[in-house]
């Protein structure tokens, strides 16, 4: 684990923005006009998908993928100018939020500035041509981190952006040497003390497959040497299999509990139901009650919470990475009021430093607890939206429901769950 990673990151909420499709205009300025709403939702950090120019050679779709970067040290003119971006970041800070940007250091577009000026810094196929080692990433070519000059250039680039933004989300971080990330973190700290580092760690099958092919493939445990937070892709397959009915709920909850003893005490997981690479939560969880429960469980989980722009509107359509495909903000139920309650709840210090445990109960109920210093946060989540009588092992009484309006009663150590999420805070002598 990064030695100076604070557990307080677990109280935070990240809001992810794809500038091209966040608004009808698709510009930095249009996002800037939406900052007050994003702040009111409860966001602490705004993460921008890559803001750099996109390669034209071999590009996908009509406009290309933002992860096929042509120039690490410029901004995409489609979005505006560098001054526009700086103004946006300044306004993010004025709203009391932080800003992080995507770092895509495993590969570039085939027509990138680096490919033109430093072809020796790239992976080459046996015939000497550029190439990549992930077959369906046809619009990119891989970098070669055995080249010391590449390290210098990439770290200088990070230091440049760290003078503007507050941190980085690092794309497919496991495919880049951990020694590079450790050095980069140390050098960037001199420019941006407290810089936040988020690793897009990968699913187990992808990791094992890449290792079998002789590629670098760092586990989450290795990445925590340099990063403050990792994705929870280590258990995402279990989440997906449970939704498909392929495994029982207990198999998923047991995978969550394993994280408590697998990782260091100050581990931070990025908790998400959706992101720009995965189906929308409202698409895979169409029932409104179920979606409300999964959303409440998302915020309740131990870790930093991710909201992908449009998730609060229950969008079912995942915007294309390669085309103009704006978010339809009126497509579904507005979850903003629920998320606002949940972000307020997440500020509680108990979520930063606790013993965390999740248990699967009949009828698709997940009961979860954060416990520390005589206080408990108890959550009851009906993941199938069904009513049930649930034992909660707390003193009888009437409690405020932090996940909804009004109160809930505990009688005989049980709660009558109506199918809506219930979260209560209990202080015991």
pLDDT tens per residue, range 190-218: 999 999 999 999 999 999 999 999 999 99
Question: Per-residue pLDDT tens for 275-322?
Answer: 999 999 999 999 999 999 999 999 999 999 999 999 999 999 999 999
- pLDDT, residue 138, reads 87
Q: How far apart are CA 396 and CA 211, in angstroms?
A: 53
Task: Check pLDDT > 80 for residue 2.
Answer: no
Sole residue written with tokens 């503007």: 164
- pLDDT, residue 374, reads 87
Question: Per-residue pLDDT tens for 315-344?
Answer: 999 999 999 999 999 989 999 999 999 999
Query: What is the mean pLDDT of the segment spanning 139-159?
Result: 97
Q: Helix 178-189 to helix 148-162 angle, to the nearest 10 degrees?
A: 40
Do 280 and 274 contact (CB within 8 A), yes or no? yes
List all residues 6 or more positions away from 72 whose beta carbon is below 8 Å from its beta carbon: 52, 108, 113, 114, 154, 157
pLDDT category at 135 given cuts 50, 70, 90 is confident
Task: List the Cα angle 350/354/357 in 5-degree steps.
Answer: 115
Proportion of the chain above pLDDT 90, given as a percent: 95
- pLDDT, residue 37, reads 98
Q: How far apart are CA 15 and CA 20, in angstroms?
A: 15
- pLDDT, residue 3, reads 80
Do 54 and 111 contact (CB within 8 A), yes or no? no
- pLDDT, residue 428, reads 72
Tokens of 374: 């005589």
Query: Residue 263 region, left (φ>0) first, then alpha (ψ -120 to 50), else beta?
Result: beta
- pLDDT, residue 392, reads 95
Least-confidence region, from 95-104, 179-188, 210-219, 276-285: 210-219
- pLDDT, residue 331, reads 87
- pLDDT, residue 255, reads 98
- pLDDT, residue 343, reads 98
Task: Check pLDDT > 60 for residue 1.
Answer: no
pLDDT category at 429 given cuts 50, 70, 90 is low
Query: What is the mean pLDDT of the segment spanning 343-369?
Result: 97
Q: How far apart are CA 34 and CA 275, in angstroms?
A: 19
Task: Check pLDDT > 60 for residue 414.
Answer: yes
pLDDT category at 153 given cuts 50, 70, 90 is very high
């Amino acid at each position: 684990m990064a030695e100076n990673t604070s557990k307080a990151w677990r109280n935070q909420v990240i809001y992810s923005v794809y500038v091209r499709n966040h608004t009808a205009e698709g510009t930095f300025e249009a996002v800037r006009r939406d900052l007050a709403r994003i702040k009111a939702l409860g966001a602490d950090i705004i993460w921008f998908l890559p803001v750099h120019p996109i390669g034209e050679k071999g590009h996908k779709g009509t406009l290309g993928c933002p992860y096929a970067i042509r120039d690490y040290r410029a901004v995409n003119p489609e979005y505006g100018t560098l001054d526009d971006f700086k103004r946006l970041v300044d306004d993010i800070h004025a709203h009391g939020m932080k800003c992080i940007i995507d770092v895509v250091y495993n590969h570039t577009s085939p027509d990138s500035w680096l490919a033109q000026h430093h072809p020796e810094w790239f992976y080459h196929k046996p015939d000497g041509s550029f190439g990549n080692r992930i077959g369906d990433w046809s619009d990119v070519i891989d970098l070669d981190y055995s080249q010391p000059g590449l390290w210098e250039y990439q770290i200088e680039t990070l230091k440049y952006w760290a003078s503007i933004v507050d941190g980085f989300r690092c794309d497919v971080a496991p495919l880049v040497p951990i020694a590079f990330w450790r050095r980069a973190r140390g050098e960037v700290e001199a420019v941006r003390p407290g810089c936040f580092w988020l690793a897009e760690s990968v699913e187990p099958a992808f990791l094992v497959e890449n290792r079998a092919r002789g590629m670098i493939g760092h586990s989450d445990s290795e990445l925590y040497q340099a990063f403050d937070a990792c994705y929870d892709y280590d258990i995402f397959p279990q989440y997906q299999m449970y939704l498909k009915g392929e495994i029982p709920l207990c198999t998923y909850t047991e995978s969550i509990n394993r994280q408590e003893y697998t990782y260091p005490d100050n581990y931070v997981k990025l908790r998400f139901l959706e992101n720009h690479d995965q189906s929308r939560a409202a698409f895979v969880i169409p029932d409104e009650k179920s979606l409300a429960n999964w959303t409440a469980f998302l915020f309740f989980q131990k870790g930093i919470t991710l909201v992908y722009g449009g998730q609060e509107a229950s969008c079912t359509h995942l915007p294309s990475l390669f085309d103009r495909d704006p978010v339809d903000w009126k497509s579904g139920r507005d979850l903003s009021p629920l998320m606002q309650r949940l972000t307020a709840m997440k500020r509680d210090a108990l979520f930063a430093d606790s013993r965390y445990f999740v248990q699967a109960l009949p009828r698709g109920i997940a009961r979860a607890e954060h416990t520390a210093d005589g206080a408990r946060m108890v959550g009851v989540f009906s993941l199938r939206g069904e009513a049930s009588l649930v034992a909660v092992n707390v003193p009888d009484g009437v409690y405020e429901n932090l996940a909804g309006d009004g109160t809930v009663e505990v009688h005989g150590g049980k709660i009558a769950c109506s199918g809506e999420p219930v979260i209560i805070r209990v202080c015991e002598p």
